[in-house]
Amino acid sequence: AVSPSDQTVSVARGGMAPSLVVFLANEGGHLGAAMRLGRIIRQLGANTAVPGICASACIYAFAGGSRRIGTPDSRFGLHPARRGDGRGGSVAEDEQIALMRYEYLEEMGVAPNLVTWEGELSSNQVYWLTAGEAQGVQLTNLLLAAEEVPLPPGD
């Protein structure tokens, strides 16, 4: 088993923790992996930024940032969890996943009513948060103009 401190060392190349993780266009992924990544980002004390699109599981990785930077053009998309085969789970599975999401968001300092909003959506529906909604639930806790997001050279 790999301890969280071992994961941190493997992510922080050359002993230097990243100061910023930028999600430019991420429309999904594995919820559990996104939460693990979010916890590693938080352990590193890194900030996250979305000057583009972050939807589905991406939101949970983004939530790990100490400072979570959005821009007026950032787009955050919510949808209900689906299994790898694209189907929803049983009621018990859906409740367990909702509880896991709720606890994670609370741990990250994000209002967990995102989970309630996801639960109100149909299986193929995506709800795009406004910049005001993202700030209201503390998904973003810093709003910058797109040109103010400190991207690495060449991006």
The H or E element containing residue 6 is helix 4-11
**What confidence score (pLDDT) does residue 86 get?**
52
For 82, the 3-state DSSP assignment is coil
Give the burial class of 11: count Cβ atoms within 10 A of its Cβ; 0-12 exposed, 13-18 middle, 19 or more buried.
Answer: middle
For the whole model, what pTM was predicted?
0.81
> In whole angstroms, what is the distance from residue 37 CA to residue 148 CA?
25
pLDDT digits (tens, 9 = 90+) for 49-104: 998 899 989 999 999 999 999 999 999 999 876 655 555 567 788 788 889 999 99
